[in-house]
Chains A and B, each alone.
Chain A
Amino acid sequence: MAKVTIDGLEMEVPDGTSILNAARMVGGDIVPPAMCYYSKLKGSGGKCRTCLVKVSQGSAKDPRPMPKLVPSCSTTVQDGMVVENITSLDVLEARKGVVEFLLINHPLDCPVCDQAGECDLQNLGYKHGLAKTRYEEERRTFEKADIGDNIKLHMNRCILCYRCTYVADQLTDCRSHGVINRGDHAEISTYISKAIDNDFSGNMIDVCPVGALTDKTFRFSSRVWFTKPMDAHRDCKKCSGKVVLWEKGNEVLRVTGRKDKYGELEEFICNECRFEKKNTSDWVIEGPRHIDKHSVISQNHYELLNNIKVDIVKYQKQVAERVNKG
């Protein structure tokens, strides 16, 4: 066990935990944002640099501070480490810089982006970004690429977190896409123009922190905050079958995996569940999915509406009893 202090909060965590995961164990404001790290994907993290923190004391043995800001997702805690996240101005300044870098070439097409409302970059931008851009040049664009029937790749929005390549490496039997070119022309691509098609490829959509990979079957059907998320499950031979249905009326518009409060999937689901089972009758509905109250999705109060549903049968029985007595 290692004793570590993050933003003045002391905690004890198992050895080998990363600073980010240590902070997540406590939760709240001290958790650094993460755009590329994904706890369920091995090797992810360290790329986006939004989770940079300051280590003001390396460890109890070697109390020297670390010379540079370190990525909290890939730096393991040491016993006696003191970490500053939101209490350090350097960190906030650097984070602001990183968010600006991520946004300068981002198309900012949120009004037409299916990810809007559940986009990590949007949240990050609202929290740390500037209201005005200092970037005057034309934004970078890529040629449109078709990567198959189910997944829409919109490369202009990509922040190159590499999560989708890890998904393909670690969940599917064959990775057919990757990063080609370098620098700010690096892009996710299937070389040359292949379709991504295998049973678990749909998880790329869920792990994508931005709207670069979206569900073609859901494309432009509704804004996410007009839909109501319902936990549901079914017997699936390939995966756990535990999903969230995004419904509008009685129509299932979209099926996704269940995400925790850090936007990570609890369990990966298969493409059959995701793309093919679009009828309520395919699913056993468990009840409304709780979405954080700060999310725009909660603003349509689907949970409350569900709670005040009147149980007519119960009332009828009560009335009948009263009549019988009377």
Chain B
Amino acid sequence: MARKILLEHLNVPGIETLEVFRKMGGYQAVEKVLKTMSPDDVTEEVKKSGLRGRGGAGFPAGMKWSFIDKKSEKPRYLVCNADESEPGTFKDRYLMEKIPHSLIEGMIVSSYALGAKTSYIYIRGEYFYVLRILEKAIAEAYEAGFLGKNILGTDYSLDLHVQIGAGAYICGEETALLESLEGKRGNPRMKPPFPAISGLYASPTVVNNVETIAAVPHIVNMTGDEYAKIGVGRSTGTKLISASGHINKPGVYEIEMGLPVEEFIYSDEYCGGIKNGKRLKALIAGGSSVPILPEHLITKTANGDARLMTYESLSDGGFVSGTMLGSGGFIVMDETTCIVRNTWTLARFYHHESCGQCSPCREGTGWMEKVLHRIENGHGKMSDVDLLVDIAKKIEGNTICPLGDAAAWPIASAIRHFREEFEYHVKYPEKVKDPKHFFYAPFVSEKMNASIA
């Protein structure tokens, strides 16, 4: 059994209550930190642990904390990004739903490290029932004296609020989240200034993912050096992976960084192999916005090394033959999947969720969706495939926030790796009329057949 940190006590009955959570060692970190450590010590531990942001970008958390403007006289804020809306990602929901106190403990420890007196959890609008769970847990924590004035008799006070979003994917982008938290339209802000200098209410702010914050108490408890020993290289610790798609055992798994992708897919401990004994076709490794991988690049990198579940190994080969760990939304697709249809679905999502602030994303996402719709339904032209590549190229990197990139990458990579399938849709429009076109007879590469014959 691999080591579990975040989900260690998942199956303990009543873990969502403060009482049981404390029995399992909860809130020890709060005591340790408030009574024996200075805020800078905590930041230092997190730096040592090598903990990287679990929300998608993988930016070292300790470094992010050290950027916070300490000279400013304005209050500092910690905001937890619980606006988990990436298709294929559901780890934060699981964690907050099952062990809400782990997040609250993390918020207290992290807020102390940053010197924040008020902290916010910005939760996705669709997670309304999780909001109730969190509010209940926060009330318990207030009652037990872990939140509020003079926590545990020290002179540190903290107020924790949960704010619910209204269901926009873009509000998961940190600056859009802050705008929304301030009560404005959730449009991403221009960077710089970064939130660490001017974030919430123009004050120094740190925005971290749920999983990142929940990992902090464990780092404090086991020390940063100890945490850094788990994992491989610069990818330290454990990661929650939301596995979905054509696998036998979909769900949230906590893995140690460095687990081979092959083992994760086929081992009975994790995904348990492909459903119905079908052949693996493609993988989206880190939530819908990362590049898709074709079969031959999933378990091995382009150099022939085994691909591991780490930030580095998954992005090995750049965008040509690699992908990203992202937020850990692990979507497995078997041979019955139509890549064009899948790409169209994603394009539709990004079209729907673009905020409309900057032109490439506003116009480009809609355009790509329409072209993909055309191809998928057998009305496409050969030139449409190149058109898509060109549109994606013109969106990528030219937008205010990463949503433009997130919309462009899956499409560009799908065409890069599965171009023949797109061309098949154009060549044989009558064969793709049925929406389940590859369900009964999986797509077979004509080039491959030709070379065998």
A147 touches B (CB below 8 Å): no
B400 touches A (CB below 8 Å): yes
Query: Which residues from 352 to 411 on chain B have a C-beta closer than 8 Å to any C-beta of chain A?
Result: 352-360, 362-367, 370, 387, 393-395, 397-400
CB neighbours of B370 from chain A (8 A): 137
B190 touches A (CB below 8 Å): yes
CB neighbours of B397 from chain A (8 A): 68-69
CB neighbours of A183 from chain B (8 A): 351-356, 362, 365-366
B356→A159 contact, CB < 8 A = no
Chain B residue nearest in CB terms to A99 = B359
B168 touches A (CB below 8 Å): yes
A183 to B367, CA, bound (A): 12
CB neighbours of A184 from chain B (8 A): 351, 354, 356, 362-363, 365-366
A158 to B397, CA, bound (A): 24
CB neighbours of B360 from chain A (8 A): 49, 97-98, 101
CB neighbours of A178 from chain B (8 A): 185
Per-position 1/0 for A75-97, Cβ under 8 A of B: 00000000000000000011001
CB neighbours of A100 from chain B (8 A): 394
A48→B358 contact, CB < 8 A = yes
B356→A105 contact, CB < 8 A = no
The interface centre, meaning the residue of A137, A181, A183 with most chain B CB atoms within 10 A of its CB, is A183
Chain A residue nearest in CB terms to B357 = A47
- State how many angstroms separate the Cβ of A19 from the closest Cβ of chain B: 14
Query: Which residues from 133 to 175 on chain B have a C-beta closer than 8 Å to any C-beta of chain A?
Result: 168, 170
CB neighbours of B363 from chain A (8 A): 101-102, 104-105, 184
Interface residues of A, count at CB 8 A: 35
A181→B356 contact, CB < 8 A = yes
A52 to B400, CA, bound (A): 11
A20 touches B (CB below 8 Å): no
- State how many angstroms separate the Cβ of B360 from the closest Cβ of chain A: 5
A74 touches B (CB below 8 Å): yes
Chain B residue nearest in CB terms to A186 = B356
CB neighbours of A69 from chain B (8 A): 397-398
A52→B398 contact, CB < 8 A = yes
A159→B366 contact, CB < 8 A = no
Partner of A47, one of B352, B367, B400: B400
Secondary structure of the A contact surface, majority rule:
loop
A179→B185 contact, CB < 8 A = yes
The interface centre, meaning the residue of A102, A134, A178 with most chain B CB atoms within 10 A of its CB, is A134
A97 to B168, CA, bound (A): 27
Q: A102-B359, A102-B363, A159-B359 are in contact. Are A182 and B168 (CB under 8 A)?
A: yes
A100 to B370, CA, bound (A): 16
A182 to B188, CA, bound (A): 12
Chain B residue nearest in CB terms to A101 = B363
Q: A52-B398, A184-B366 are in contact. Are A98 and B190 (CB under 8 A)?
A: no
Interface residues of B, count at CB 8 A: 29
A49 to B357, CA, bound (A): 10
B398→A186 contact, CB < 8 A = no
A181 to B170, CA, bound (A): 13
Chain A residue nearest in CB terms to B379 = A136
Chain B residue nearest in CB terms to A43 = B190
Chain B residue nearest in CB terms to A73 = B190
- State how many angstroms separate the Cβ of B353 from the closest Cβ of chain A: 7
Chain A residue nearest in CB terms to B353 = A183
A46 touches B (CB below 8 Å): yes
Partner of A74, one of B190, B355, B394: B190
Partner of A185, one of B190, B356, B364, B367: B356
CB neighbours of B351 from chain A (8 A): 183-184
CB neighbours of B364 from chain A (8 A): 101
Q: A68-B397, A104-B363 are in contact. Are A47 and B358 (CB under 8 A)?
A: yes
Chain B residue nearest in CB terms to A184 = B366
A212 touches B (CB below 8 Å): no
A236 to B354, CA, bound (A): 44
A94→B398 contact, CB < 8 A = yes
A184 to B360, CA, bound (A): 10
A151 touches B (CB below 8 Å): no
A162 to B187, CA, bound (A): 12
CB neighbours of A185 from chain B (8 A): 356
A183 to B358, CA, bound (A): 9
A186→B400 contact, CB < 8 A = no
Query: Which residues from 257 to 273 on chain B have a C-beta closer than 8 Å to any C-beta of chain A?
Result: none
Query: Which residues from 335 to 358 on chain B have a C-beta closer than 8 Å to any C-beta of chain A?
Result: 351-358
A47→B359 contact, CB < 8 A = yes
A167 touches B (CB below 8 Å): no
A135 touches B (CB below 8 Å): yes
A55 to B320, CA, bound (A): 25
CB neighbours of A232 from chain B (8 A): none
A49→B398 contact, CB < 8 A = yes
The interface centre, meaning the residue of B387, B394, B395 with most chain A CB atoms within 10 A of its CB, is B394
B357→A98 contact, CB < 8 A = no
B354→A49 contact, CB < 8 A = no
Query: Which residues from 170 to 202 on chain A have a C-beta closer than 8 Å to any C-beta of chain B?
Result: 178-179, 181-186
- State how many angstroms separate the Cβ of A70 from the closest Cβ of chain B: 10
A243 touches B (CB below 8 Å): no
A134→B362 contact, CB < 8 A = no
Chain B residue nearest in CB terms to A68 = B397
Partner of B400, one of A46, A101, A104: A46
A160 touches B (CB below 8 Å): yes
A182→B354 contact, CB < 8 A = yes
A160→B362 contact, CB < 8 A = yes
CB neighbours of B367 from chain A (8 A): 101, 104, 135, 137
A179 to B356, CA, bound (A): 10
CB neighbours of B357 from chain A (8 A): 47, 160, 162, 186
A94 to B398, CA, bound (A): 7
Minimum-distance CB pairs A-B, first 8: A97-B394, A186-B356, A101-B363, A183-B354, A184-B366, A68-B397, A46-B190, A137-B370
Q: Sample 14 A-B pairs with CB under 8 A, ordered by A number.
A: A45-B190, A47-B358, A47-B400, A97-B394, A101-B360, A101-B363, A102-B359, A104-B367, A160-B359, A182-B168, A183-B353, A184-B362, A185-B356, A186-B357
Using a CB–CB distance below 8 Å, which chain A residues touch chain B?
45-50, 52, 68-69, 71, 74, 93-94, 97-98, 100-102, 104-105, 134-135, 137, 140, 159-160, 162, 178-179, 181-186
Using a CB–CB distance below 8 Å, which chain B residues touch chain A?
168, 170, 185, 190, 351-360, 362-367, 370, 387, 393-395, 397-400
A-B contacts besides A182-B170, A186-B357, 8 pairs, CB < 8 Å: A47-B359, A94-B398, A104-B367, A135-B367, A183-B353, A183-B354, A183-B362, A184-B366
